[in-house]
Structure 1
Amino acid sequence: MRETVITTQTIANPKTHYGDARASTRHFITQRVTGGFNVVFLALLLFVVVRLAGQDRADVVALLANWYIGVPLAVLIAIAAVHMRNGMRDTLEDYMHGRIYSLAMMLNTLFCLAVALVGAGSVLKIVFWG
């Protein structure tokens, strides 16, 4: 497969199609929505951090065992992982190209998936199984 050379003239010309418009719009909206949810859930996170200041492990487990605290924190971890993946995608698109970009995006996705599964899974384990 022949790779197309993209120049600044190609990008500056409004009649050329550069990139996938649908995917870019979805990425833009996802980044804004996850950012908004992160701001909303930040209030809950701050409440938990202030509430648990100076407490021991038993108090932490007791607070997180409440479903109305633990489930939103698990959702926050998952949403933050999606936001993190999208943010790193922007950086990777700027500095990497070709196969190394594909490899870096795959590793980025796997890392963010692992963070979301381990983080949210750990909180949900406390909520549902103590």
Structure 2
Amino acid sequence: MREQVITREVIANPKTKYGNGPASTRHFITQRLTGAINVLFVGLLVFIVVRLAGHDRAEMVGLIGNGFVGIPLAVLLAIVTVHMRNGMRDTLEDYFSGRTYGLYMMLNTMFCLAVGLVGVVSILKLVFWG
């Protein structure tokens, strides 16, 4: 079988099946959905920042330790890290390919996972254990 040369025309033609359709669609929907949820949660984040302006650590622990504030904040952090991973994936796809892309994507995933886990566990610790 003859290997197809990838040109601009090949990529622009939807009949060539260039790329992974289901994965690309999932990525597109995930990026748009997490972006929309982030916009909705901005009100909560603004409330927390305004409420804590000029207060000390005890006030911060008291506000974030409230389940009605802390649990949505933990959900927001989880969604933001998913959105961050997808956004960085787009950038990595533009500049890297092959094994280098795989390595950087793995590092990106690990970084986002670490940020998400540390942040969510920290917030939940404040909510459930003060």
TM-score scaled by length of structure 2: 0.94
Q: Which residue of 2 aligns with 1:30?
A: 30
Relative to 1, partners in 2 of residues 1:9 and 1:41: Cα closer, same or farther, differing over 3 Å?
same
Using the TM superposition, give the Cα deviation of residue 56 of structure 1 relative to its aligned residue in structure 2, in angstroms.
0.2
Q: Which residue of 1 aligns with 2:40?
A: 40
Q: Which residue of 1 aligns with 2:118?
A: 118
Using the TM superposition, give the Cα deviation of residue 58 of structure 1 relative to its aligned residue in structure 2, in angstroms.
0.3
Q: Does 1:16 align with 2:16?
A: yes
- Cα distance in 1, alignment partners of residues 77 and 110 from structure 2: 15
Relative to 1, partners in 2 of residues 1:129 and 1:8: Cα closer, same or farther, differing over 3 Å?
same
- Report the AA paired with residue 116 of structure 2: A
Using the TM superposition, give the Cα deviation of residue 24 of structure 1 relative to its aligned residue in structure 2, in angstroms.
0.6
CA RMSD of aligned residues (A): 1.3
> 1:102-124 deviations in whole A, cap 9, x for unaligned?
00100000000001000111111
> 1:30-71 deviations in whole A, cap 9, x for unaligned?
001100110111100100000000000000000111000000
Using the TM superposition, give the Cα deviation of residue 4 of structure 1 relative to its aligned residue in structure 2, in angstroms.
6.8
TM-score scaled by length of structure 1: 0.94
Using the TM superposition, give the Cα deviation of residue 8 of structure 1 relative to its aligned residue in structure 2, in angstroms.
1.9
Deviates more, 1:65-74 or 1:14-23: 14-23
Q: Which residue of 1 aligns with 2:105?
A: 105
- Report the AA paired with residue 64 of structure 1: I
Report the count of equivalent residues: 128
- Cα distance in 1, alignment partners of residues 47 and 4 from structure 2: 52
Using the TM superposition, give the Cα deviation of residue 5 of structure 1 relative to its aligned residue in structure 2, in angstroms.
5.0
Using the TM superposition, give the Cα deviation of residue 9 of structure 1 relative to its aligned residue in structure 2, in angstroms.
2.9
- Report the AA paired with residue 107 of structure 2: L
> 1:57-116 deviations in whole A, cap 9, x for unaligned?
000000111000000000000000000000000011111000000001000000000010
- Report the AA paired with residue 111 of structure 2: F
